[in-house]
Amino acid sequence: MTPPPVASAKTTLHRHLRGVRQDLEWKLEGLDEMHLRMPMTRTGTNLLGLVRHASGVEAGYFGEVFDRPYSEPMPWDPEYADNDDFWTPADVPAHEVLALYHRVQKHADATIADLPLDEPGLVPWWSAERQRVTLHQILVHVITDLARHAGHADVVREAIDGRVGLSEGNDNLLTDDEQWWADYRNRLTGIAECFRDRGAGSAGGGR
């Protein structure tokens, strides 16, 4: 039997990029405008802000870096003075944030399709010794960055309404039994609390 063809490195990387985009966007599904914007951490992490930020990431790394600038200015202060790529003004509906991200994705996909993996680029906002890059490096960088934010979205969405899952149609969980998870959490809490009176030493201390 002839083995199936092995996908090229670029095809594989592009597939993972598309996958992490989908995973991030899925975490917004079914929520209203308030919950999409609700800050759920001390530093204000919110679902719609993560998608807004992802638009800027892809527009910059697959645009300016390869002298293929994205045609629309990003709708926030280019100096990020108010961290405003991570939150959405009240007069901007969620569907506009998603529509912008989809337009940016098309631009990024065209860059990936048109250029070879060894295409040189320049990241002007990186330090001088790191600025010169290739498309291969940037694909890995952006996938890593978006995967981290998709993980943030996992935790934020669970905190909002309890919805969990790896991706649409695949929760990748051991069970959907709520009582099992309550017992599991209580067991882990008990283990953690064993250390309540054992001092405040940090983990992983060196010798």
Domain tally for the chain?
1
* Whole-number pLDDT of residue 200: 60
The 3-class SS string of the chain reads: CCCCCCCCHHHHHHHHHHHHHHHHHHCCCCCCHHHHHCCCCCCCCCHHHHHHHHHHHHHHHCCHHHCCCCCCCCCCCCCCCCCCCCCCCCCCCHHHHHHHHHHHHHHHHHHHHHCCCCCEEECCCCCHHHCEEEHHHHHHHHHHHHHHHHHHHHHHHHHHHCCCCCECCECCCCCCCHHHHHHHHHHHHHHHHCCCCCCCCCCCCCC
pLDDT tens for each residue of 17-36: 999 999 999 999 999 999 99
* Whole-number pLDDT of residue 165: 86
Q: Is residue 69 part of a domain?
A: yes
Q: Are β-strands 120-122 and 132-134 bridged in parallel, bridged antiparallel, or unpaired?
A: antiparallel
* Whole-number pLDDT of residue 203: 64
Q: Which domain holds residue 99?
A: 9-188
* Whole-number pLDDT of residue 207: 47
CATH number for 36: 1.20.120.450
Q: Is residue 124 part of a domain?
A: yes
Q: Is residue 39 part of a domain?
A: yes
Q: Is residue 201 part of a domain?
A: no
- For 108, list phi and psi in degrees, rounded to 5: -65, -45
* Whole-number pLDDT of residue 174: 87
Q: Is residue 196 part of a domain?
A: no
pTM of the model: 0.89
Q: Is residue 153 part of a domain?
A: yes
Q: Is residue 41 part of a domain?
A: yes
CA pair distance 54, 166, nearest whole angstrom: 19
Stretches where the chain sits below pLDDT 50 are 207
Percent of the chain with pLDDT over 90: 80
Query: Hey, what are 52's tokens?
Result: 């807004």
